């Protein structure tokens, strides 16, 4: 799988710093799982975090901090030592669609019909009520709703492909659009396209149908 | 094999000398490079704390010791001592191999206060920061066997643990349930020597690159790691437009990346 479209370095840096909003961070983690190039960048930015930790002036800890820590080891020692692989989790599914493992902890809503050839599912991340995360399933040859956004939009292509003014996006690619972009992706003719998308801030849908569905989506 | 390692700055110890354990930052330029301060079984840091007693340390402290109020078990003030990245890796290995509590105590004294500072600067209250620093180091104990020196240095690994705990903590404030284990903590294949070397080099390069940023750029990079504040607040605080904040962050990151590429 050749990946041609990547998240911006700035977004990877914010992810490394733990400062990317939960929704975009989830989409980025799906991209990272399949992209060695971006994982390399992530490690570099995480190393920045390591270097910053090393340079921190030590804070004053509670007087008995080390004793507390060692006592916790005693309590912990009763557990068996383990180096076991995490139990093999079944890949999350939505109907006939197999989803990335990163979505395992999410509540995934049913596919909802939003218009001809266009279905959506709302993804909720426990503890992150403000995260706007969507699964989109769009038939071959269909236009996706024209929209702009107040914040950035992150779209990871899970299967199929679409094209917009920036080029063609295939499975494994991540499209990162800033708030200035207004774009209208068109799904390529070969097959339907399934994407995972998250926006920072609120999405502004432009078309008539889009304005109709906006209240349904709760954006 | 140590060809690459020799390029590491003296500040972080001498990988060319496998016997090297601890170096004193202030003395880094004064002593002979690579001179071992403490002798022990190469590749292992276990056993007694004698290794840390002043008699075993061959370099006299330069400055008078600050009054110690904080940590008890230590025989030297923790902030006077710098643990080389290689020594850190050996300490984690000792915990993984033999549940070595002395190794843990050394790591705890070095990292817990720094993690606490990091979390406080990230906007957490001191008490929460202390709890999460404890939690971070407990994870180090529990996950020591998952540590992969072919992927990250110890400080970087600990940074990612603290980062994830901070995110989980903020999430749990909104939700009481316990979080899932991070899938990235799963056991990997044993690291190759090459991967370990590449990792050590990458981390050393990043450290050097950070020191070569201008003050302003370093501030901006730190802000983007610690700044709880949105760009708009940073903008009003610094009295510059929000676009300038964003472009400064972008420029600083670009420069950091360019430096990392140059040094490679």
What does the mean pLDDT of chain B come to?
70
Q: What pLDDT, on the 0 to 100 scale, is given for residue B55? A: 39
The answer for B 168-187 residues in CB contact with A (under 8 A) is 171-172, 174-175, 177, 180-181, 183, 185-187
Bridge partners (DSSP) of residue B260 are none
- Supply the ipTM of this predicted assembly: 0.85
Q: Check: CB of residue B258 under 8 Å from CB of residue B210.
A: no
Put simply, whether B128 touches A (Cβ < 8 Å) is no
CB contact under 8 A, B115 and A53: yes
Model confidence band, residue B134 (pLDDT cutoffs 50, 70, 90): very high
Q: What is the mean pLDDT of residues B156-169?
A: 95
CB contact under 8 A, B253 and A46: no
Cα–Cα dist A11/A15, whole Å: 6
- Please tell me which of the candidates A22, A58, A101 has its beta carbon nearest to residue B113: A58
Put simply, whether B189 touches A (Cβ < 8 Å) is no
CB contact under 8 A, A50 and B181: no
Cα–Cα dist B253/A96, whole Å: 42
CB contact under 8 A, A127 and B141: no
Put simply, whether B198 touches A (Cβ < 8 Å) is no
The answer for B 9-68 residues in CB contact with A (under 8 A) is none
Residue B128 has pLDDT above 90, yes or no: yes
Domains delineated in chain A: 1-54+94-219 (2.60.120.10)
Q: Which residues, 6+ apart, have CB-to-CB distance to B192 below 8 Å?
A: B150
The answer for B 78-107 residues in CB contact with A (under 8 A) is 78-79, 99, 101, 104-105
Q: Check: CB of residue B21 under 8 Å from CB of residue B51.
A: yes
- Using one digit for the tens of pLDDT, what is the confidence trace for B31-69? 444 444 333 334 333 333 333 333 333 444 445 555 544
Of the residues B74, B160, B210, B230, the best mutation for testing chain A's interface (the one with the most A CB atoms within 10 Å of its CB) is: B160
Q: What is the mean pLDDT of residues B90-114?
A: 95
Q: What pLDDT, on the 0 to 100 scale, is given for residue A148? A: 60
CB contact under 8 A, A61 and B133: yes
CB contact under 8 A, B155 and A54: yes
Phi and psi angles of residue A37, each rounded to the nearest 5 degrees, phi first: -60, -50
- Using one digit for the tens of pLDDT, what is the confidence trace for A208-219? 455 555 555 544
Q: What pLDDT, on the 0 to 100 scale, is given for residue B160? A: 96
Tell me the pairing of strands B82-83 and A112-115.
unpaired
- Using one digit for the tens of pLDDT, what is the confidence trace for A123-163? 998 888 878 899 999 999 998 766 666 678 899 999 999 99
Q: Which residues, 6+ apart, have CB-to-CB distance to B156 below 8 Å?
A: A43, A46, A47, A49, A50, A51, B203
Residues of chain A with pLDDT under 50: 80, 207-208, 218-219
CA-closest candidate to residue A114, choices A95, A133, A137, A93 = A137
Max Cα distance, chain B (Å) = 57
Put simply, whether B195 touches A (Cβ < 8 Å) is no
Domains delineated in chain B: 5-194 (1.10.1740.10), 212-264 (1.10.10.10)
CA-closest candidate to residue B37, choices B105, B47, B53 = B53
CB contact under 8 A, B71 and A46: no
Q: What pLDDT, on the 0 to 100 scale, is given for residue A83? A: 55
Chain A CB contacts of B174 under 8 Å are 127-129
Bridge partners (DSSP) of residue A195 are A136, A157
Q: What pLDDT, on the 0 to 100 scale, is given for residue B2? A: 41
Residue B152 has pLDDT above 90, yes or no: yes
CA-closest candidate to residue A142, choices A90, A75, A209 = A209
- Please, what is the Cα angle at A201 between A195 and A204, to 5 degrees? 70
CA-closest candidate to residue A135, choices A153, A117, A115, A156 = A156
CB contact under 8 A, A58 and B164: no
Chain B CB contacts of A9 under 8 Å are 253-254, 257
Residue B70 distance to chain A (closest CA, Å): 5
B89/A91: higher pLDDT: B89
Q: What is the mean pLDDT of residues B197-222?
A: 80
């Amino acid at each position: 799988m050749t990946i041609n479209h990547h998240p911006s370095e700035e977004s990877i840096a914010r992810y490394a710093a733990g400062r990317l909003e939960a929704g975009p961070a989830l989409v980025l983690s799906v991209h990272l799982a399949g992209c060695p190039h971006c994982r390399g960048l992530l490690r570099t930015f995480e190393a920045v975090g390591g270097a910053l930790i090393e340079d921190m002036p030590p804070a004053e800890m509670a007087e008995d901090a080390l004793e507390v820590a060692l006592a916790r080891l005693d309590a912990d020692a009763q557990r068996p030592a383990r180096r076991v692989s995490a139990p093999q989790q079944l890949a999350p599914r939505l109907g006939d669609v197999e989803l990335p493992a990163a979505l395992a902890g999410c509540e995934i809503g049913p596919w909802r019909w939003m218009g001809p050839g266009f279905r959506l599912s709302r993804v909720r991340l426990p503890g992150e009520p403000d995260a706007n995360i969507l699964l989109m399933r769009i038939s071959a040859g269909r236009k996706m709703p024209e929209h702009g956004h107040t914040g950035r939009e992150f779209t990871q292509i899970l299967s199929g492909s679409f094209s917009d003014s920036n080029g063609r996006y295939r499975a494994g690619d991540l499209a990162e659009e800033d708030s200035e972009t207004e774009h209208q992706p068109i799904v390529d003719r070969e097959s339907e396209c399934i994407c995972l998308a998250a926006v920072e801030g609120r999405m502004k849908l432009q078309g008539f149908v889009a304005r109709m569905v906006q209240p349904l989506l709760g954006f | 094999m140590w060809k690459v390692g020799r390029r590491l700055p003296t500040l972080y110890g001498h990988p060319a000398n496998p016997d090297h354990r601890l170096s004193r930052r202030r003395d880094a330029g004064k002593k002979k490079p690579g001179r071992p301060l403490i002798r022990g079984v190469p590749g292992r840091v276990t056993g007694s704390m004698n290794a840390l007693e002043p008699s075993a340390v061959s370099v006299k402290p330069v400055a008078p010791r600050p009054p110690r109020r904080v940590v008890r078990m230590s025989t030297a003030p923790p902030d006077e001592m710098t643990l080389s990245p290689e020594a850190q890796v050996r300490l984690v290995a000792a915990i993984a191999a033999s549940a070595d509590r002395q190794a843990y105590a050394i790591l705890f004294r070095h990292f817990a206060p720094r993690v606490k500072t990091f979390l406080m600067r990230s906007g957490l209250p001191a008490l929460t920061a202390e709890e999460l620093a404890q939690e971070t180091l407990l994870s180090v104990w529990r996950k020591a066997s998952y540590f992969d020196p072919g992927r990250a240095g110890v400080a970087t690994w600990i940074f990612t643990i603290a980062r994830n705990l901070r995110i989980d903590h903020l999430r749990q404030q909104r939700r009481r349930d316990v979080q899932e284990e991070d899938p990235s903590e799963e056991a990997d294949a044993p690291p190759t020597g090459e991967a370990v070397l590449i990792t050590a080099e990458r981390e050393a390069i990043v450290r050097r690159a950070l020191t070569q940023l201008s003050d302003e750029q370093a501030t901006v990079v730190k802000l983007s790691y610690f700044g709880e504040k949105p760009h708009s607040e940073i903008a009003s605080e610094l009295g510059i437009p929000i676009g300038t904040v964003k472009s400064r962050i972008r420029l600083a990151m670009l420069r950091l990346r360019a430096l990392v590429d140059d040094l490679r």
